[in-house]
Structure 1
Amino acid sequence: PTIETNMGADSNLHVLDAGVVRPSDILPAHSLPFTFFDVRWLRRPPVQRLFLYRLEHHHHHTVQQLILGLKASLSKALTLFYPLAGHVRLAPNTNRYELFYQPGDGVAFTVAEYDTDVDDLARSSDGEPVQVASLAPLVPTLPNGRAVLALQATGLLGGRGLALGVTMHHSAGDGASSTHFLHTWAAVCNGAVEMPPPPVIDRTLIADPRGLYDIYCKEMPTDDGEIELVTSSVSSVPDDQLVATFTLPQELLSGIKDTLARDAARHAAPPLRCSSMLAAYSFIWSCYCRAQQEQNQTKTTYFLFAVDHRARLKPPVPATYFGNCINPAVAAARHDELAAAGTGGLFTAFMAIASALEEEVGERSHERWDGCIERARGAMKAGAMFVVGSPRFRVYDINFGFGRPAKVVAVSAAKTGTMPMADAPNGVAGIEVGVSFPAGGMEHFRHCFDDAMHAIGMQDVYL
């Protein structure tokens, strides 16, 4: 396959090597059929994450040694996660897609240098923004030929940092699967005594009695022959687009839950079951709606978040199942009610999100799955915020032996309306959320965020 980089995006990037890393063991050819959970991601852009590591007392020579270690351990990890070295194709003599691996396949691995300091990229999680354009060259594009994984290791200015860019196509696996791979690769690299459990690579575990695969294929745009995958998410990001993250510490999340409980009592609503995730969703969605300069105040606006169904399928599939096993929950509410002053917007957001979750995990929810693409598409067209990532993926624990990441950025989510979510950095108890806006929009969001903190009496918590 042809190896492409984002080097054209920034002259500060110097590509030193563009090679391929193959599984360390010789493995037989293997076909992994797409399930209905997988096929609906075929037309979507890949997920692109950037891990930024600070290196203490390192220099150019040491960075190159670290990269050699990354390559050697990747080769071993790919023996367990061999489908990631393969490519998407139509199974011979059928109209069904599969992930196909054959001996000799491997993962594109680019080595580069970037004349930017790690501290200019790894901004703290207190809302300090960074330009998306400065991060984009550090995540690779997927090679042509329907590859599903590409990696890039970049030494940063003065050998003080290392950037690891990971681009993975969602059709190969969801966030639980991609981060399972990254945790395994890191454990091999750092010589961990206890390895993560191996992946369960068996698509027969996902039954499709309702014929959802064919229903989803009918709802996707078609062309003649095999499709080409979208190879990058960041090729069309505006120059002034910013991304910033905010840590919501446990104290703040508890304050949000207490506020919601008081509002529920005031509305004579039944007692709430509010997790930290739902508290974070509700808080950021209401802040986002306040920050939007919406002309039509009575329009319905939407919030999409993924629900993992591994434990909910009948029979359930293992937590280590490799592939996609998520479905979107779609919350809806009026814009003016979400943007209401005080804590009214927060309560509206929570009630809509809690209702959407109940609808997605309820007893007969799977009977609505045939319309999920249509519902999600309609929500996005009307105007929606959608979540990517999860604190459960523990991305800040991905340690290759040279420390925890100083910053993890979901670069592919650097678009207005997306909400990247992760565990809090530095081992802090809490949740990290991200937002992306053009410069003026980011300043306005920060103002709305501060107002929302005051409304729940938590203005002194956020440092």
Structure 2
Amino acid sequence: MSAHSSLRVVDASVIRPSDVDLPPRSIPLTFFDVKWLRPPPVQRLFLYRLHGNHNVEQLISDLKASLSKALTLFYPLAGHVRLVPNSSKRYELSYQPGDGVCFTTAEYDADVDDLARPSDGEPVHVARLAPLVPPLPQGRAVLAVQATALLDGRGLALGVTVHHSAGDGASSTHFMHTWAAVCNGAVEMPPPPVIDRTLIADPRGLYDIYCKGLPSDGGEIEFATSSVSSVRDDQLVATFTLTPEVLTAIKDALAGEAARHGAPSRRCSSTLAAYSFIWSCYCRAKKEQNHTKTTHILFSVDHRARLKPPVPPKYFGNCCSPAIAGARHDELAAAGTGGLFTAFTAIASALEEEVGEGSQERWDGCIERVKEAAKAGMMFVVGSPKFRVYDTDFGFGRPAKVVAMSATATGSMPVADARDGGGGVEVALSFPADGMDRFRRCFTDAMHAIGVQ
């Protein structure tokens, strides 16, 4: 029996903004946005444990009512992407009265504890989780939601699918925190979103550069509606937590390596420490025939505060560009702390280049650089500890587990705040079974190398 066969759809409805007087709105996409018209959507799964005093039907009813209120603030998420009328190249996010978000209610014969896997490094089959995130409906909608009651009412799975052209991770998690605050009756609400894409200037004509390859005959683009539509039966995903103590040990090991190499000391944030540690482990676990080839890691840099003039922190849309680090595979995979130091040096240099003077003048070649790095071999970082996904509390507790389902393809590295709220960093990796075994061994060896038993 396939995992999908145990999912039963109970209801499919459309949730509209609670303010019925919202006028039609058209929001032009910026050059940051149009880069994301082709890639598949972002799909995230929130798993919650429930207790005997929770009525699942009531919880789902509350989720729908609060979503309607949240959509009044984040109304673009109720709309869809379309070509600007009488244009063949310009796209906009259009909201019309009556537009809404597809909300699926389902039941699934799986235990929340089996899906959430409380122990670090304990994998779960991606195919078991895949039915819990909804596809986007046809027609270039940008948001879909699915609430699934788990076995015996002991858990609730909330699957959220967002098209990246609508907004980046900071925007989508701002929406999730607002929705949760409305639902749990928070006294203090998150600040409202700033929905004004004219704040993003484009003096270098990056929009047209990034639109190359999109239909130029006036035809509408059709979205990929899911990122987990086909999953290998043996594909696994597991979470690894780097506690504050482990992150300190990584930083100490890097400082020791820098002194040994006579290299200048560079500031190492907990996020960069996590990227470096996992990238090195990943390369060590990966079977690579050409050990001298250059491999890459890509991570996003938020430019809200760096644009001239800067845009508000709660700007709703995309405002990120990629930083791409590269190093030789054999040097990244080196035993001890040598591979860790190589990874950190490359990542720190890439970040300095992306935020340094003149970096924005190189954005015209950004898509080509990403393509070249992907062709050579690249790991993608998804998410950020700053998004605080484990603070998404709808009134029935913090999530037992958050899974970035769209990153469960091999080569992606979802990063989040640690679920215990203790200040660590949580990283997820997805491999077939044999690859997962190799990574777990490499992860354990790397922990020993930095003095963590």
CA RMSD of aligned residues (A): 1.3
- 1:237 positional shift: 1.7
Deviation at 1:429, TM superposition (A): 1.9
Match in the other structure for 1:122: 116
Q: CA 1:203–1:323 in 2, change beyond 3 Å: closer, same or farther?
A: same
Q: 1:394 aligns with which of 388, 392, 412?
A: 388
Aligned 1:262-281 pairs, distance under 5 A? 262-281=256-275
Say which of 68, 77, 80 aligns to 2:73: 80
Taking the TM superposition and a 5 Å limit, the aligned residue runs for 1:189-268 are 189-220=183-214, 225-268=219-262
**Is 164-173 or 235-244 further displaced after alignment?**
235-244
- Following superposition, the deviation at residue 124 of structure 1 comes to 2.0
Q: Does 2:90 correspond to 1:96?
A: yes
Partners of 2:259 and 2:166 in 1: CA distance: 45
Query: Is the contact between residue 81 and residue 91 of structure 2 (CA under 8 Å) also seen in structure 1?
Result: yes
Deviation at 1:222, TM superposition (A): 6.2
Give the corresponding residue for 2:355: 361
> What corresponds to 1:63 in structure 2?
56
Query: Partner letter of residue 159 of structure 1?
Result: G
Does the 8 Å CA contact 1:143/1:231 hold for their aligned counterparts?
Answer: yes
- CA distance in 2: counterparts of 1:337 and 1:379, whole angstroms: 17
Following superposition, the deviation at residue 393 of structure 1 comes to: 0.4
1:35 match: 30
Greater shift, 287-296 or 374-383, is seen at: 374-383
Secondary structure at 1:218's aligned position in 2?
coil
Counterpart-to-counterpart distance in 1, 2:93 and 2:270: 36
Instruction: Write the letter of the residue equivalent to 2:192.
Output: P
Query: C-alpha offsets along residues 110-167 of structure 1, whole Å, 9 cap, x if unaligned?
Result: 0000011101100125110000000000000000000000000000000000000000
* Distance in structure 2 (CA, Å) of the matches to 1:22 and 1:122: 31
Question: 1:331 aligns to what SS in structure 2?
Answer: strand
State whether structure 2 residue 29 is matched by structure 1 residue 52: no
Amino acid at match of 1:91: V
Alignment of 1:441 onto 2:435: yes
Please name the residue that 1:155 is paired with: 149
What letter is aligned with 1:406?
A: A
1:83 & 1:386 partners in 2: Cα distance? 27
**AA at the equivalent of 2:436:** M
Change (3 A) 1:75 1:8: farther
Kindly tell me the number of residue pairs found equivalent between the two proteins: 451
Deviations 1:86-110 (A, max 9, x none): 0000000112000000000000000
- In the aligned structure 2, how far is the partner of 1:206 from the partner of 1:316? 9
Residues 130 and 58 from structure 1, CA distance in 2 versus in 1: closer, same or farther, beyond 3 angstroms? farther
> Which moved further from structure 2: 213-222 or 280-289?
213-222
Determine the C-alpha separation between the residues in 1 that align with 2:372 and 2:448. Answer: 34
Tell me the distance in 1 between the aligned counterparts of 2:218 and 2:429: 38
- Does the 8 Å CA contact 2:299/2:382 hold for their aligned counterparts? yes
Cα deviations by residue, 1:384-411 (Å, 9 ceiling, x for unpaired): 1110000000000000000000000001
1:99 touches 1:172 (CA, 8 Å); kept in 2? yes
Alpha-carbon contact 1:31-1:100 (below 8 Å) kept: yes
Hey, what's the Cα distance between the residues in 2 that align with 1:143 and 1:38? 20
- 1:229 partner letter: F
Which letter maps to 1:347?
A: F
Matching residue of 1:4: none
SS in 1 for 2:315: coil
C-alpha separation in 2, matches of 1:304 and 1:124: 28
Residue 379 of structure 2 corresponds to 385
Asked if structure 2 preserves the Cα contact closer than 8 Å seen for 1:58 and 1:160, the reply is no
- Aligned sequence identity (%): 78
Where in structure 1 do 4 or more consecutive aligned residues deviate above 4 Å? 219-224
Q: Does 1:308 align with 2:302?
A: yes
1:48, distance to aligned residue in structure 2 (A): 0.3
Contact 2:81–2:140 under 8 Å retained in 1: yes
2:173 is equivalent to residue 184 of structure 1: no
Is the Cα contact below 8 Å between 1:39 and 1:217 reproduced in 2?
yes
User: The residue matched to 1:441 in structure 2 has which SS?
Assistant: helix
Which range is displaced more, 31-40 or 380-389? 380-389
Q: What letter corresponds to residue 63 of structure 2 in structure 1?
A: L
C-alpha contact (below 8 Å) 2:214/2:221 kept by paired residues: no
Q: Which runs of 5+ in 1 are unaligned?
A: 1-6
1:58 positional shift = 4.6
Q: How does 1:310-389 map to 2 (within 5 A)?
A: 310-389=304-383
Q: Secondary structure at the match of 1:242?
A: strand
